[in-house]
Amino acid sequence: MTGHGRSHARDGVGTAAGCRPGESPGGALEHVPGEDGQGTPHPEQLTAVPEAGVSVPRGAHVDAAAPGGQHGDGHGSGQVARGHHGRQPTGLESPGQSPDRPGAPGPQVRRRVVVHAASFHLVRHPSGRALAALLDVPRLQVELRRTPGLRFWRLLGSGRGQSMTLGADLRRWALFAVWESPGALADFVGAAPATRRWSRSGAETWHAALGLREARGTWGGTALVVPGVPEPEPGGAAAFLTRASIRPRRLRAFYAAIRPVEGDLLAHPDRLRSVGVGEWPVARQATFSLWRDAAAARAFAFRPGAHAEVIRRTRAERWYSEELFARFSVRTLAGTWDGTDPLD
**pLDDT tens track for 298-326:** 888 878 878 788 888 888 899 899 999 99
Domain layout of the chain by residue ranges? 9-26+42-62+87-335
**pLDDT tens track for 134-181:** 999 999 999 999 999 999 999 999 987 676 566 788 899 999 999 999
Lowest mean pLDDT among 65-74, 208-217, 271-280: 65-74
Query: What sign does the CA torsion over 178, 183, 186, 188 have?
Result: negative
Give me the torsion for CA of 262, 161, 65, 255, rounded to 10°: 30
Q: Give me the mean pLDDT over the 84-95 stretch.
A: 36
Query: Which pLDDT belongs to residue 203?
Result: 96
* Among 96, 159, 109, CA closest to 287: 159
- Pairing mode, strands 117-124 and 150-159: unpaired
Query: Which pLDDT belongs to residue 87?
Result: 32
> DSSP string of 262-284?
HHHHHH-TTEEEEEEEEEETTTE
Query: Which pLDDT belongs to residue 221?
Result: 95
**pLDDT tens track for 101-133:** 433 445 689 999 999 999 999 999 999 999 999
Distance CA 137, CA 142 (A): 9
pTM: 0.71
Rounded to 5 degrees, what angle do the CA atoms 199, 266, 128 make? 30
